[in-house]
Amino acid sequence: MVMDKNKVKIELYKSKVNAKLSHYVSGNLYYTVELAEGTYQFPISTIDITPLPDLGEEFIELSADLGTTSFYAEMKGSELNRWIGKAIDKGEFTKVN
């Protein structure tokens, strides 16, 4: 089922529910958020990987998408709407229970 990201964002603003940091692995912060339909998990990438084909290597740097955002163990879900929308678009906003 494809989530409607606008409905998710509106629900997060109205409910004021908190997102909780679940874990960090392979350059991604994973948060969970409880919606009316259940608990969902989504990643926030903390790194950008640029292939360097001439060298056969990759260049890894801090993701420019993070800007100056502070990430906490628990924060308003609506503060993460930018990344929730991206996760929905990529099919990475997954129901965990």
| Domain ranges for the chain | 5-46+74-95
pTM of the model: 0.87
Instruction: State the Rg of the chain over Cα.
Output: 15
Distance CA 47, CA 10 (A): 28
8 A C-beta contact, residue 19 and residue 81 = no
Q: How confident is the model over 86-94, as a mean pLDDT?
A: 95
Distance CA 19, CA 78 (A): 8
Instruction: List, for residues 13-65, the tens digit of each pLDDT value.
Output: 999 999 999 999 999 999 999 999 999 999 999 999 999 988 889 999 999 88
Distance CA 11, CA 37 (A): 11
